Every structure is written in structure tokens, then in C-alpha cells.
Chain A
């Protein structure tokens, strides 16, 4: 399944590893903040309406 990367296996693997990790991290942080702010706003709206 894994392609034969020859003498540059380390370079290619590290490039993909670092990039995918960075992309996953930024997605995680955006989604987590979005959820926490949405929850806090819902609570604040509920307190205002109460």
C-alpha cells in the first residue's frame, strides 16, 4: 500500500506528517472555539430571555 519512496522516504514522510498535523491542529482549534463560543452565546441569550 505504502509507495516506495526510495532514498527520500524520510523527507517526504516528514513533509506530509508536519503538514497534515498543522492542518488538523488548525481545524481542531477553529471547531473547538466555534463550539465553545456558540454554547456561551446560547447560555447568555437564555439568561437574557429569562
Chain B
């Protein structure tokens, strides 16, 4: 299969997954494999990082926090971008699976944001001398956390599912500005304490990556966090789809 037909195949699969039945069948087949792979890679990355990497010359053992902080921050941003895509697809094409995937992504994304903020604060105290500063990247992350919380609260506050999907989708679109800002804030405002990108997979000429001693377990942890996000996303979306079906059956029961 050449690359064009591969991408065409993936694109077709993407649209087919908008059908709840296809999604349930596909995710049900892949979920057990994905779960085991998540445990393997996330466990390996964190154990390698915590137990088998040396201290940094300047940062001492606090460098071990990088195996939590960077992957969590990465998934906090990507989780919000996923919510953006799911919400946009709902608003344009009214596809239930996409908006339910966005709904399922929010609590995981919020947890990732919280981990990034907490580990950043704990790391910041010995390195910067403070837990918190109103630095562009830190502040945009805090605002993104509040958008996650608001998105979840809005879903919970509205009884009608389609109305909730409409309103939360608009909120997700507005909040995506802060998800982008949290990624690029360092470039927009060249101020504050937070450094620029630590790891660059694409721009090897401009960015000097960290040493492989730290980079390889970090890469493993990043993939592990990504797989954990995907696993929980599939579990959550399947639960939301079942919940919708359950609501329909309960309404039918009451009408009989």
C-alpha cells in the first residue's frame, strides 16, 4: 500500500468512525491492546526516567520531574486541540461521536493540565525560587485549565444533550485560543521565566535537543502519556455512547 492509498484509507476510517456502531466495534477490538501497550510504555518511561537516569549538573535530581511535566503539558494542549476538532465537527456536521469524544477528552485533558501545573510549580520552587509567576506560558496554562473546568461544568449544567453539545462546542472553540497560546506564548512574548521548547522532533537544526540520556526515557513517557490519553478517550467515548442509548431506552420505558 503506497502512502497516498494509506492516507486515503485512514481518512475513510476517520469518517466511518463517526458511525456509533462502527466506532463501538472498532474501539472494542483495539481497546485491550491499547491498554496493555499504555501500561508497558508509560511504565517503562517513568521507571527508566525515575530510577535509571543521572542527575543534571545544574538542576540535580529535579530533572526527573521532566518525565511527568513535559508529557502532561503536551497532552494538555493536544487534548484541547482534540476537543476543538470534535466540537467543530459537531457544529458543522452534527456528528454525535465527535462531540461525545470531545466530552470524554475534557476530564483527562484537565487532569493533564493539573499535573503540568503542579509539577511545574514543584519544579519551579527550587529552580526559580518561586512556585508561581504570572509568566505568559504559566498564565495561559492556568486559563486553559479554567476552560477545561468550565467546559465540564457546562455539560453538567444543561439537561438537553444537543443544546449542551452546541454551547460546550462554542466554549471549546473560544478556549482553543488559549491552548494555542500556551504552546506558543514563549514565542509571542519573549519574557517570563519559562524556557522555550526543550524537545524538538522536527526542527533539529535550530533547537538543540537535550542529551539522549534524558531524551529517550522522555520520548517513551511522552508516547505513554499519549496512549493513556487515547485509551481513556476511547473508554470515555464508549461510555457516553452507551449513556445516550440508555437515556433513549429509559424514555421509551416511561412512555409505555
Q: Do A and B come from one complex?
A: yes
Q: Give the interface residue-count category, chain A.
A: 20 to 34
Kindly list chain A residues whose C-beta atoms are within 8 Å of the C-beta of B95.
none
A1-29 vs B, CB cutoff 8 Å, 1 = contact: the mask equals: 10111111101101110110011011101
Pair A19/B115 contact, Cβ less than 8 Å:
yes
Pair A19/B119 contact, Cβ less than 8 Å:
yes
Q: Which residues of B from 33 to 58 have beta carbons under 8 Å from A?
A: 46, 50-51, 55
Inter-chain CA distance A1–B134, complex, in Å, is 39
Inter-chain CA distance A40–B249, complex, in Å, is 11
Pair A8/B235 contact, Cβ less than 8 Å:
no
Segment at the A interface, from B121-129, B153-161, B178-186: B121-129
Pair A45/B249 contact, Cβ less than 8 Å:
yes
Pair A3/B68 contact, Cβ less than 8 Å:
no
Q: Which residues of B from 132 to 148 have beta carbons under 8 Å from A?
A: none
Contact (A23, B239) CB under 8 Å given A3-B51, A8-B60: no
B237 to chain A, nearest CB (A): 10
Inter-chain CA distance A31–B64, complex, in Å, is 29
A37 to chain B, nearest CB (A): 5
Contact (A18, B232) CB under 8 Å given A9-B61, A11-B123: no
Kindly list chain A residues whose C-beta atoms are within 8 Å of the C-beta of B68.
15-16, 19
Tell whether B210 is near chain A: CB-to-CB under 8 Å.
no
Tell whether B236 is near chain A: CB-to-CB under 8 Å.
yes
Contact (A14, B245) CB under 8 Å given A27-B232, A44-B250, A47-B253: no
Known A6-B60, A8-B61, A15-B118; further 11 A-B contacts with Cβ < 8 A: A3-B61, A8-B126, A9-B61, A11-B65, A15-B65, A15-B69, A19-B119, A23-B111, A25-B111, A31-B235, A37-B243
Report which A residues bind B (CB closer than 8 A).
1, 3-9, 11-12, 14-16, 18-19, 22-23, 25-27, 29-31, 33-34, 37-38, 40-41, 44-45, 47-48
Report which B residues bind A (CB closer than 8 A).
46, 50-51, 55, 60-62, 64-65, 68-69, 72, 107-108, 111, 114-115, 118-119, 122-123, 125-126, 228, 232, 235-236, 238-239, 242-243, 245-246, 249-250, 252-253
Closest 7 CB pairs of A and B: A5-B61, A44-B249, A19-B68, A26-B111, A34-B239, A15-B122, A15-B65
